[in-house]
Chain A
Amino acid sequence: EAGVAQSPRYKIIEKRQSVAFWCNPISGHATLYWYQQILGQGPKLLIQFQNNGVVDDSQLPKDRFSAERLKGVDSTLKIQPAKLEDSAVYLCASSLGAPGQGETQYFGPGTRLLVL
């Protein structure tokens, strides 16, 4: 079974530029998550989708971050404009069922972003 795919793996941009990350979850997984992992910290949930609907985006900085999952399969996370403090690894995860059903989350390898 193929895992969660993410691209690009690495990205370096200057502050105030825009950047987008892509995630393709495990086939058939209804729920998709984006996390931000700052160096030396555990991952923090940014946004959670079930199919193409947003379940939880309470920790997403909506003034600069946006995410979509238009067809309920793959997803993009965008930052516009980027700040220095956005330097982090952005992790995508997916799970089979709806949130709260106790499904295990499977993580992709992450996109490492450096903002200069």
Chain B
Amino acid sequence: AQSVTQLDSHVSVSEGTPVLLRCNYSSSYSPSLFWYVQHPNKGLQLLLKYTSAATLVKGINGFEAEFKKSETSFHLTKPSAHMSDAAEYFCVVRAGNKLTFGGGTRVLVKP
């Protein structure tokens, strides 16, 4: 069985400051991990994915995530938040055929 826990349901940051979205996972298999972003009234968009290559993964729009097996974590970061980063973010684990989504973290960016 696999599961994903996003530790914060809401995160509020000021524009230009760092963003950290926390994700812990559990999986019986060697997992593939993803971060997706969902803007209001738009489809889910893939930010980045980890598939057992480099543990530090760079994605689109300046986001990156680090896979830490010992901590079963896959936290998402961005050095400097932009207003356009306001959205909901989902951490996702894939094992075999199945994708399991976390509950989501809503990011608010203050000017």
Contacts and interface: CB of A to CB of B under 8 A. Distances in A.
B14 interface: no
Contacts of B49: 104
B61 interface: no
A105 B43 contact: no
Interface string A22-57: 000000000000000000111111001000000110
Contacts of B43: 3-4, 91, 106-110
Interface string A78-112: 00000000000001010000011010111111100
Given A100-B96, A104-B49, A42 B101 contact: yes
Instruction: Tell me what chain A mostly uses at the interface: helix, strand, loop, or mixed.
Output: loop
Nearest to B41: A109
Q: How large is the interface on A (under 10, 10 to 19, 20 to 34, 35 or more residues)?
A: 20 to 34
Nearest to A55: B97
A99 to B, nearest CB: 4
Interface string B47-63: 00101000000000000
A93 B36 CA distance: 13
Contacts of A100: 96-97
Contacts of A102: 32, 51, 94
B44 A107 contact: yes
Nearest to A33: B99
Nearest to B101: A42
A69 to B, nearest CB: 16
Interface string B33-76: 00010000111111001010000000000000000000000000
Interface of B: 4, 32, 36, 41-46, 49, 51, 90, 92, 94, 96-99, 101-104
Interface of A: 3-4, 40-45, 48, 55-56, 91, 93, 99-100, 102, 104-110
